[in-house]
């Protein structure tokens, strides 16, 4: 049986993207670099960010792609390259990566899920905003500085005690 992915133009997707070395804290240690890499990517490949949070070793994001676009893979590739080029070299690199001229900053793959309706979207937004609590970094989602929950609070969509 041959599995074939279906990419939806204008789709809304939830992503989990991890560092190759899950013991590192490169993402939060270099949050300004990650943010500028993200902004640089969005200039050339626009996307609407519905929700996001960054933990030390991974991040979760929900993107709404433009109506005529289904290419989230190139967005992630560009973001990873933009970020990695400014990270000091020294990570462990496999033979396979060396042959392809790749760095060892990110896991090659990421997990994506096509959002299938409003209920699914709300569950994934809640998952994102509660993730720093789940991992034990904070006791309240609003206490985590690298989360879109602050935008949601500012817009009045949730209050600062959400998730407590």
What amino acid positions are annotated as catalytic residues?
A: 146
DSSP letter, residue 15:
E
> Judging by beta carbons within 10 Å of its beta carbon (0-12, 13-18, 19+), is residue 115 exposed, middle or buried?
buried
What is d(CA 155, CA 147) in angstroms, rounded to the nearest whole number? 14
Q: Is 13 helix (H, G, I), strand (E, B) or coil?
A: strand
What is d(CA 131, CA 43) in angstroms, rounded to the nearest whole number? 28
Cα dihedral 84, 22, 46, 65 in deg (nearest 10) = 150
Place of tokens 């060892």: 104
């Amino acid at each position: 049986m041959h599995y074939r992915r279906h990419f939806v133009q204008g789709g809304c997707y939830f992503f989990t993207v991890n560092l190759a070395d899950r013991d590192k804290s490169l993402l939060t240690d270099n949050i300004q670099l990650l943010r500028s890499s993200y902004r640089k990517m969005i200039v050339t490949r626009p996307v609407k960010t519905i929700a996001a949070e960054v933990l030390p070793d991974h991040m979760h994001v929900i993107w709404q792609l433009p109506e005529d676009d289904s290419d989230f893979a190139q967005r992630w590739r560009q973001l990873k390259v933009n970020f990695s080029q400014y990270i000091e070299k020294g990570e462990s690199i496999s033979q396979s990566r060396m042959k392809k001229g790749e760095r060892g900053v990110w896991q090659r793959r990421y997990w994506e899920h096509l959002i299938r309706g409003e209920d699914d979207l709300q569950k994934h937004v809640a998952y994102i905003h509660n993730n720093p609590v789940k991992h034990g970094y904070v006791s309240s989602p609003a206490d985590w500085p690298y989360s879109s929950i602050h935008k949601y609070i500012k817009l009045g969509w949730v209050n600062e005690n959400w998730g407590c």
